[in-house]
Amino acid sequence: MAAILPERKDQVQRKDGQAAPDLACGRASAAGSVSQRACVFCGSRVVLYPIADALHLVHGPIGCAVYTWDIRGSLSSGPELHRNSFCTDLQERDVIHGGEKKLYRCLTELIRHYRPAAAFVYATCIVGIIGDDVAAVCRRVAAEQGLAVIPVHSEGFKGTKKDGYRAACDALMQIIRPAADAARAAGEGGTLPFSINLLGEFNIAGETWIMREYFKRIGVEAIATLTGDGRVADIRRSHRAALNLVQCSGSMTYLAKQMEEEYGIPFKRISCFGIEDMAQALYDAADFFGDPAMDVRARDLVREELSELLPLLQEYRRRLEGRRAAIYVGGAFKAFSLVRALRMLGMKTVLVGSQTGNPDDYRQLRELCDEGTVIVDDTNPLELSGFLREQEVDLMIGGVKERPIAYKMGVGFCDHNHERKIPLAGFIGMLNFAREVDNSVNSPVWQFMPGHRNVSHSGGIV
Amino acid sequence: MTLLRHTTADVKERSGLTINPAKTCQPIGAMYAALGVRNCLPHSHGSQGCCAYHRSTLTRHYKEPVMAATSSFTEGSSVFGGQSNLLQAIENIFTIYKPDIIAVHTTCLSETIGDDIPQIIAKAKEEGKIPAGKFVIHVNTPSYVGSHVVGFSGMVKSLVDYFAVATDDKRRTINIIPGWVEPSDMREIRRLTAALGVETIIFPDTSDVLDAPQTGQRQFYPDGGTPVESLRKAGDSLSTIALGLSASGAAARALDAKCKVPCDILELPIGLRATDRFIDALRRAARVHVPEALNRERGRLVDVMSDMHQYFYNKRVALWGDPDQLVALSEFLIDLDMRPVYVVTGTPGREFEARMARVLAGKISEAKVRQGSCADMFLMHQWIKEQPVDLLIGNTYGKYIARDENIPFVRHGFPIMDRVGHSYFPTVGYQGGLRLLEKILDAVLAHKDRESSEESFELVM
């Protein structure tokens, strides 16, 4: 087996026909590990960032702002204020004397200048330590400027990326709640017919637009997408939806639960990756609304899309049949879809893992995967490269830090994270995914890798 | 493009607010410097996110795996201090990742709670957590002071502080501290010194680490990097040549103070005159002759400069990035008859203005130079809106301005996240000068081709 930190032995499993204990997960990474995980701030920032007409101000040292500046291809059809990087750039004197005054000045300046629809203020590690009362500054500016100024409690050390998702959801509730209260008071709080919100959909490479279009075709109106191509006004209306569809469940289930509790909006987990899951998402929505006509429309839509798609996919399947894949993604729910999507291409998932899966996720993964598959929680490059070799992987699916690891080992790669540049969601997304996988797995460049069957170990062609 | 409609033409003083920064924080610089030491694992003493962000950013620029460990702070560590995290980290790292050196850098979090790293390292040693012949070194890199350049400089100085020793065994080697340049630049510096027949110790050296060849093997520690033995012997060298005051000056002075190795602090050898000074310094320090091959190399650069000068006359250029690069590039541009009119770095330090003033030497009276707080891409864009330029040179963050204002753009510096290949071709030395010239002219003429009306669109240019 690949080298594994002793503390991590129970975070790695091989499906081998035997009953196995639950995979250990949800714990902090061992100190000293080269973890692929990020922090609370990162979790909050990626969730809220796509709200395009809001001001996003990072209260902290410059790095936190720089590393989250326009890195996530969350597209906007209108305003692009979110793609700028605003930072209080805390200096030593601020650390000593406190950063509240500077925060107040920066926030006021920015709001006066841009008149955003709302403002989010992200607290970073250091703000938590020096004890700035970010919430108080936000309240004051909100009162003075007359707009929602929301503190996001995203101090990096206060947990994992998951806790950052929670902090982001709390921040969103601070937008939704006052709007819902006001609407109710005005007698306008009623549920809109055939309406949904899309939660955990971030419009990477324009995926939100594809999703919304599908739902529109079956007669469902998406009130708000949280947060892809997001607008504050839509988020304010989101409490009037009949149903919440939760896509990236790791990030947004918490919000869905709160909205269920406070506004009685039920929610369903969906995935828009792969044909089966995408179709299921549409059927689930139609089923929920209990409208036979909608059901027919959903089936028609799936049939139409598939009649175009399946013949094209057959060709990719022919080229990919029998190849072996590794998946390492942020949330485990996406991994389910990917295992199924790869299966549709004739590929076998031999290694699968996530940064933030829970025991239930890993049980399901175990059920879904073939015998011999290795399942990992919070892995690291050393383990990953060991498994890539051991499991004879042809394709790795991951994010920015995994790409060069795969390439160095002569393994094809597909980014299914922030850096995907073409939509991988929906039916068209499945075709894009197949094309991208084929493009990398079957690239002629791999024939030149030392160790490849045509290449001697010294690098020369045999 | 709607993105930059957010930039207004009127420059308004801001009270500390930074918009679209032209710097990042210290720890990433310390990480990059430590990667230039053989079998060294950088370690980030702070929250997990810092380490992940730095690794991602370095990966986006170098397109290589970047290994670094983290203390993975929790709420508990931020209350009780990070000592136990670091102790456990040291033990885990030597057990699993087996480096020769762990290079610890701090973060704003561990700095503010006041972790005493040397004391923790001493404790680790006492408890037998550091195997014989292995090292744990450190640098303090509070993110709320300086910039990534300061973090880089600090880690390079730490290499001197921890390893360099003066013995009686004096050597004829010359130390070269190359600064924060590409791996290809470090390789080019090695080629130049070899051509002169000068024996050198180059540190740090990220060539063969962050541009490692495809071997089909995954090496956790690639073959490159300055070995500990060389870092030790740096104390016995004849002299040190430090390239770039901001990134390399501190280490060179520390080596002088600690081991009495005299130093010469030069600007980065970007462009003709800076390369001449570098070659000359090497020649004098090692008492060697410049070989004819190198003279001919220089001659080719001068020849191409004369071939191209007709296109460059009076072109207004905006530059941003790190002080050492900006000073050297500005000198080269002026020698080509271009006008570096706007120069911005987020890295604070008054000496930058003095260095720029020396280079500008009253020749570019309209030049605006800004460093430190609020010296950012937003300010740069406002200046450009006030009065446009003909060319942009800097890191990836300039692409918004390039698009919005339709100005030719040459990528240079760190980070470059939207192109591949920059880390494989040097811009230092005579060869590097040629490459810069080709890139600049290509950008300028490609723009002209694109923008020319049909009747003025020409085959021969």
Q: Mind giving me the DSSP string for A35-49?
A: -----HHHHHHHHHT
Average pLDDT rounded to a whole number, residues A199-225: 96
For residue B78, the chain A residues in CB contact (below 8 A) are 125, 128-129, 157
Minimal Cα–Cα distance from B433 to chain A, Å? 30
Mean pLDDT across chain B:
95
Instruction: State the count of interchain CB pairs (< 8 A) between A and B.
Output: 255
Whole-number pLDDT of residue B4:
55
Q: Which residues contact A420 (CB under 8 A, 6 or more apart)?
A: A73, A204, A205, A414
Q: Which residues contact A443 (CB under 8 A, 6 or more apart)?
A: A412
Residue A1 pLDDT level (bands cut at 50, 70, 90): low
Minimal Cα–Cα distance from A92 to chain B, Å? 6
- Structural domain boundaries in chain B: 2-16+301-455, 26-158, 174-293
Residue B1 pLDDT level (bands cut at 50, 70, 90): very low
The CATH classification number of B2-16+301-455 equals 3.40.50.1980
Whole-number pLDDT of residue B15:
78
pLDDT tens column, A46-66: 999 999 999 999 999 999 999
pLDDT tens column, B270-302: 999 999 999 999 999 999 999 999 999 999 999
A379 touches chain B (CB under 8 A): no
Distance from C-alpha of A429 to C-alpha of B381, rounded to nearest angstrom: 37
For residue A388, the chain B residues in CB contact (below 8 A) are 218
Share of chain B above pLDDT 70, in %: 98
Whole-number pLDDT of residue A453:
52
CATH superfamily to which B26-158 belongs = Nitrogenase molybdenum iron protein domain (3.40.50.1980)
Domain B174-293 in the same topology as domain B26-158: yes
Whole-number pLDDT of residue A159:
86
pLDDT tens column, A306-364: 999 999 999 999 999 999 999 998 878 889 899 999 999 999 999 999 887 888 889 98
Is 0.90 exceeded by the ipTM?
yes
The residue behind tokens 């201090």 is B81
Distance from C-alpha of A336 to C-alpha of A329, rounded to nearest angstrom: 11
Asked if the B174-293 domain carries CATH number 1.10.3720.10, the reply is: no
Average pLDDT rounded to a whole number, residues A287-299: 96
Distance from C-alpha of A245 to C-alpha of A255, rounded to nearest angstrom: 11
Whole-number pLDDT of residue A455:
46
Q: Using CB atoms, pick whichever of A33, A90, A124 lies closest to residue B92.
A: A33
Residue B25 pLDDT level (bands cut at 50, 70, 90): very high
Q: Give me the helix-helix angle, A40-48 and A249-263, nearest 10°.
A: 70
Asked if residue A396 lies in contact with residue A413, where contact means CB atoms within 8 angstroms, the answer is yes
By DSSP bridging, strand A221-227 and strand A324-329 are: unpaired
Q: What is the SS3 assignment for chain B?
A: CHHHHHCCCCCCCCCCCEECCCCCCHHHHHHHHHHCECCEEEEEECCHHHHHHHHHHHHHHHCCCCCCEECCCCHHHHHHCCHHHHHHHHHHHHHHHCCCEEEEEECHHHHHHCCCHHHHHHHHHHCCCCCCCCEEEEECCCCCCCCHHHHHHHHHHHHHHHHCCCCCCCCCCEEEECCCCCHHHHHHHHHHHHHHCCCEEECCCCCCCCCCCCCCCCCCCCCCCECHHHHHHHHHCCEEEEECHHHHHHHHHHHHHHHCCCEEEECCCCCHHHHHHHHHHHHHHHCCCCCHHHHHHHHHHHHHHHHHHHHHCCCEEEEECCHHHHHHHHHHHHHCCCEEEEEEECCCCHHHHHHHHHHHCCCCCCCEEEECCCCCHHHHHHHHHHCCCCEEEECHHHHHHHHHHCCCEEECCCCCCCCCCHHHCCCCHHHHHHHHHHHHHHHHHHHHHHHCCHHHCCCCC
Q: Give me the helix-helix angle, A161-185 and A40-48, nearest 10°.
A: 40
Query: Of B10 and A377, which is predicted with more confidence?
Result: A377
Distance from C-alpha of B292 to C-alpha of B296, rounded to nearest angstrom: 6
Q: Using CB atoms, pick whichever of A34, A63, A381 lies closest to residue B53.
A: A63
Whole-number pLDDT of residue A452:
64
Whole-number pLDDT of residue A400:
84
Cross-chain Cβ contact A401/B24 below 8 Å: no
Report chain A's C-alpha Rg in angstroms: 23
Q: Give me the helix-helix angle, B26-35 and B148-163, nearest 10°.
A: 50
Residue B218 pLDDT level (bands cut at 50, 70, 90): confident
Average pLDDT rounded to a whole number, residues B197-224: 93
Distance from C-alpha of B180 to C-alpha of B249, rounded to nearest angstrom: 12
Mean pLDDT across chain A:
91
Counts of helices then strands in chain A (DSSP H, E): 17, 14
Cross-chain Cβ contact B50/A110 below 8 Å: no
pLDDT tens column, B75-133: 888 888 999 999 999 999 999 999 999 999 999 999 999 999 999 999 999 999 999 99
Q: Which of B91, B137, B140 is nearest to B115 (CA)?
A: B140
pLDDT tops 90 at residue A224:
yes
Report chain B's C-alpha Rg in angstroms: 23
Q: Which domains does chain A have, with CATH numbers?
A: 1-33+320-462 (3.40.50.1980), 40-181 (3.40.50.1980), 186-299 (3.40.50.1980)
Distance from C-alpha of A314 to C-alpha of A308, rounded to nearest angstrom: 11
Minimal Cα–Cα distance from A3 to chain B, Å? 7
Q: Which of A169, A223, A219, A228 is nearest to A196 (CA)?
A: A223
Minimal Cα–Cα distance from A460 to chain B, Å? 11
pLDDT tops 50 at residue B190:
yes
In the stretch 78-97 of chain A, residues with CB closer than 8 A to chain B read 78-81, 83-92, 94-95
